[in-house]
Structure 1
């Protein structure tokens, strides 16, 4: 299953792979603003002679056409950065742009996919099928994959594979288990309206500070008392905006939060319960409530056959000790949108190394990766494509 020439090719371009990642890290671009990154990817693919097309407004879809007939496998790497201030200023490749940082590893994903493409393209005559390369924008706002699907990214694709660098796993390990991997991630906003007035006359008002506080304190019982204890679920209140002045009873209160789970029925239940709790709490105090619930990413559920293929590749390419079983995370990933069109799986590549200070959480200002993980990810991309097309 493992192609030794692919392994040698990835190792041959190790220094270039690191240089690509560092360049991308130093020049981060936020979601839907990845214009320079898109240009860079296009220029790189063009030099390799790989056909590509730009997507709107950013992003690149490319195809390596194999020399033999066969299926088509898609490899996805996301490109966008976050509005996070880089705290690793001592690094020579730290972000050049204040308030913008590759704090989640998408710079690594793009670099790994470019080198995997380079190695696969050098062996395209032996490929029984085609490799679709998806350089996706706007993962961080859960919009890029949907846009890519609409623009034909996975049309005529038989299988799709993605990778995420993972600082919570040791460098050199890979996890790709069948079933749930990432949770669905939804957003909600509750707006309470009461009756404002002077802070000295609360009896003449309906205080939404009290209403909002009661909602926050009670809403956690949705998970603890209305959902099967065997079903993972999270309801988090992340923002409260209440009142305008210290001596004014708040007439309006706005609460924002997120919902995470794996089961569609649990997802529906939480949405309906949020409406119920908001209405009942508002009625208790004489206020009104309005719920806005936005469905974000779907849960990432790895196809069993695809996950097994990835596990076999990890075992053969990197050794038995490289296989790691990471528990499903309540984090969200828009990679799930591709599964509406084709089966596949999503793998986590460990990059945590305490000796290199790379165990910081994703989205933290000190996030960084152990660059030894880059060759693992690049080879995994390429070997998965090879393995799938040759199985």
Structure 2
């Protein structure tokens, strides 16, 4: 199933792979600001002879057509960094941008896919079909994938594959389970309005802080009492802004939170119930409530055949012992919008190593990766594409 030439090519490029990742790490760019990274990727692919185009305002789509006819497989890497201050000192490739860093591993994803592209060019004559490379902006704000789809990223694609470096797992371990992998991730904003006044005269007021507090205390019963307990769901209130002064009864209160789940019907139900709870709570105390529900990412649901292919490729390339099962996470991933367009799967590649201090959680200021994982990720990209295309070749 795997091609030994790809393994050798990527091994030969291991030093370059580390260099690319470190350069990208030292020059992080936030969502929709990845102009320098876009230019770097575009120039790199162009020098390889890969036909490519830029998406607006950032992002790159490259396409490599094999010598034989066949299907089209897309490989995706995200490129954006986070508004996080890097806390690791004396790191040679530490972020040069204050308050910005690659705290989630997207620098690694971009580097791995560039080297995978370079290796696939070397075996172009043995490819049956087309490999499309998607270098996506703005994953961290969950809008980049959807915008790339609008700009034709998935037109004609038969299958799509992506991955994420995973610091919670040992270096080189690979998980790609069929079914749910990442949850849908939505945002809700609720504004309670009462009638303000003097803190010494509550009888003349409608206290928005009481409405908001009551809502926060009761909203968890949506999950605990209206949803099948076999269906995972999370409702989190992350922020509450209320009041202006110690002796003024609050006229307004604003609550912000997030909803995570895997099932579309559960998602719909929670959205409706949030409005019911908010408006009924407000009415109980004599006020009003306005609810805004913003749908973010879809749930990432790995298609069974694709996930099994990724497992088989990883096992053959690195040995059966690399496979493990990462339980579905309530984290969000906008790779889901690519899966809306074509079947595919999303893998996790372990990069955690306490001896190298790379076990920190994603989005932490000390986040880093064990660079031994880079070659495994690059090879998994390349071998998945080769295996999928040659498995589905046409004459």
State the 1:89 CA deviation. Answer: 2.7
Once the two structures are TM-superposed, the CA of residue 320 in structure 1 deviates from its matched residue by 0.8
1:299-378 paired onto structure 2 within 5 Å: 299-378=299-378
Provide the residue aligned with 1:52 in structure 2.
Answer: 52
1:70 aligns with 2:70: yes
Query: SS at the partner of 1:334?
Result: coil
Residue 226 of structure 1 pairs with residue 226 of structure 2: yes
| Cα shift readout 1:245-288 (whole Å, capped 9, x = no counterpart) | 22211100000000000001100110111011101111111110
Please give the alpha-carbon distance, in whole angstroms, between the structure 2 residues aligned to 1:257 and 1:89: 34
Shift of 1:88: 1.2
- Give 1:200 deviation, angstroms: 1.7
Which residue number in structure 1 is paired with residue 148 of structure 2?
148
Deviation at 1:103, TM superposition (A): 0.6
Q: Distance in 2 between matches of 1:344 and 1:128?
A: 18
Shift of 1:295: 0.8
Unaligned runs of 5+ in 1: none
Task: Give the secondary structure class of the aligned counterpart of 2:188.
Answer: strand
Structure 2: distance between partners of 1:177 and 1:340: 18
Q: Tell me, in whole angstroms, the C-alpha distance in 2 between the residues paired with 1:63 and 1:257.
A: 40
Match of 1:280 in 2: 280
Q: Which region of structure 1 is more displaced relative to structure 2, 203-212 or 296-305?
A: 203-212
Could you tell me how far apart the structure 2 residues matched to 1:68 and 1:49 are?
17
Equivalent-residue separation in structure 1 for 2:200 and 2:104 (angstroms): 49
TM superposition shift of 1:347: 0.3
Aligned residues: 391
Instruction: Pick which of 30-39 and 197-206 moved more.
Output: 197-206
How far apart, CA to CA, are the structure 1 residues paired with 2:271 and 2:143?
A: 21
Give the SS at the match of 1:98.
Answer: coil
1:237 is the counterpart of 2:237: yes
Secondary structure at the aligned position of 2:272 is classed as: helix
Q: Which whole-Å deviations, capped at 9, do the CAs of 1:333-352 have from their partners, x for residues lacking one? A: 01011112110000000011
Q: 2:202 and 2:350 mapped to 1: Cα distance? A: 56
How far is 1:299 from its partner? 0.4
Matches of 2:218 and 2:141, distance apart in 1: 29
Q: Following the alignment from structure 1 to structure 2, what is the Cα–Cα distance between the partners of residues 52 and 130?
A: 13
Aligned to 2:337, the other structure's residue is in SS state helix
Query: Alpha-carbon deviation of 1:371?
Result: 0.6
Q: Distance in 1 between matches of 2:283 and 2:250?
A: 16
Q: Counterparts in 2 of 1:120-139, with a 5 A limit?
A: 120-139=120-139
CA distance in 2, matches of 1:329, 1:252: 35
2:27 corresponding residue in structure 1: 27
How many angstroms does 1:23 deviate by?
A: 0.5
Q: How many angstroms does 1:171 deviate by?
A: 0.5
Aligned counterparts of 2:302 and 2:20: Cα–Cα separation in 1: 29
Residue 162 of structure 2 aligns with which residue?
Answer: 162
Task: Name the residue aligned to 1:96.
Answer: 96
Tell me the secondary structure at the aligned position of residue 328 of structure 1: coil
Q: 1:90 offset after TM fit, Å?
A: 1.9
Q: Which residue of 1 aligns with 2:176?
A: 176
SS of residue matched to 2:335: helix
TM-score (norm 2): 0.98
**CA RMSD in angstroms, aligned pairs only:** 0.7
Deviation track 1:302-360 (CA, whole Å, cap 9, x = no partner) reads: 00000010000011001011001000000000101111211000000001111111111
C-alpha distance in 2, partners of 1:94/1:216?
Answer: 41
Gap runs ≥5 in structure 2:
none
Greater shift, 83-92 or 29-38, is seen at 83-92
SS in structure 1 opposite 2:376? helix
